[in-house]
Amino acid sequence: MTDTARTAFVAGLVQMRSTRDPARNRDDAVALVREAADRGAHYVQTPEMTSLVERDRARLFAAVGPEDQDPTLAALRDVARQKGIVVHIGSIAIKVGERIANRAFVIDPSGSVVARYDKVHLFDVDLPNGETWRESATYTGGTEAVVAALPWGGLGLSICYDLRFPYLFRAEADAGASILTAPACFTRQTGEAHWHVLQRARAIENGAFVISAAQCGTHEDGRETYGHSLIVDPWGRILADAGTEVGVALAEIDMGLVADARGRIPTLQHTRSVPVSVPGLAVRGAA
């Protein structure tokens, strides 16, 4: 990386429609990361569940293994080294004892894993259209926030449902993150309602870039995901939106915009811890 690339770099988003076949997904991810690198990306991010989208618990456990045996991780480490880029795997399902971790990896240009993050907030929800999700039945949640040191600044890690918890992103910004991430497998229904506004909110309230690759379309396990991989600048402006199809999106990142936004509206400096009072309300006719 040149000195110039330390203050301005090109970020690439890989948008996927991962299947039930880890080998196919690995090959697709490798091809798309290579494409992004060939188009000038210094940093490339893949979505949550890059190597496998599988709702059936038995099939999921049969298809995944421990970290040191994961072929997608090994293949993308090779690509990072060959292309001399940073590769951020949004997440891979990794077997950890009797459960599974939803784990992100940041790989440096030498092919070394420099950061790992396990999804903290698990998606246990009942949606209005009848969809029910219970990630906690299969996955083990992470317990700490992670900020990876990149040549351009701190990279705050999160995964999908974490996006709804602003305190996680504020903790990462306070710890030095100037780029925040939320690679995802967002459902179509929740994505249509909340994806863009949440991404922009996390960027604005922290004066940081937000870079989030996503899954898209109808998957083999029956789920529908929203797509729209996004890059948002610290003022909340969308620099790249991948739409709803598989592919690559790029944007140039000017890290000077972080200092500019935080200087104009210094929310990180103005954060206060305040007590909460809950006054009682007298109700007419109550016994």
Question: Which one-letter amino acid corresponds to residue 99?
Answer: R
160 annotated active-site? yes
Report how far residue 134's alpha carbon sits from residue 26's, in angstroms, rounded to the nearest whole number: 26
Question: Which one-letter amino acid corresponds to residue 240?
Answer: A
Report how far residue 125's alpha carbon sits from residue 139's, in angstroms, rounded to the nearest whole number: 14
List 54, 83, 135, 160, catalytic entry: 160
Residues 6 or more apart whose Cβ sits within 8 Å of residue 124: 133, 134, 135, 136
Q: What is the DSSP string of 58-102?
A: HHHHHH---GGG-HHHHHHHHHHHHHT-EEEEEEEEEEETTEEEE
List 54, 83, 119, 185, catalytic entry: 119
Task: Let me know the angle formed at the C-alpha of 200 by 194 and 205, rounded to the nearest 5 degrees.
Answer: 120
95 annotated active-site? no
Backbone angles phi and psi of 267, in degrees to 5: -65, -30
Tell me which residue has tokens 């906690």: 136
Token couple for 2: 């040149």
Report how far residue 110's alpha carbon sits from residue 77's, in angstroms, rounded to the nearest whole number: 8
Bridge partners for 96 per DSSP: 99
Other CB atoms within 10 A of residue 93 CB: 26
First-to-final CA distance of the chain? 72
Question: Which one-letter amino acid corresponds to residue 209?
Answer: F
Nearest C-alpha neighbor of 169 from the set 123, 117, 215: 117
216 annotated active-site? no
Residues catalogued as catalytic:
48, 119, 160
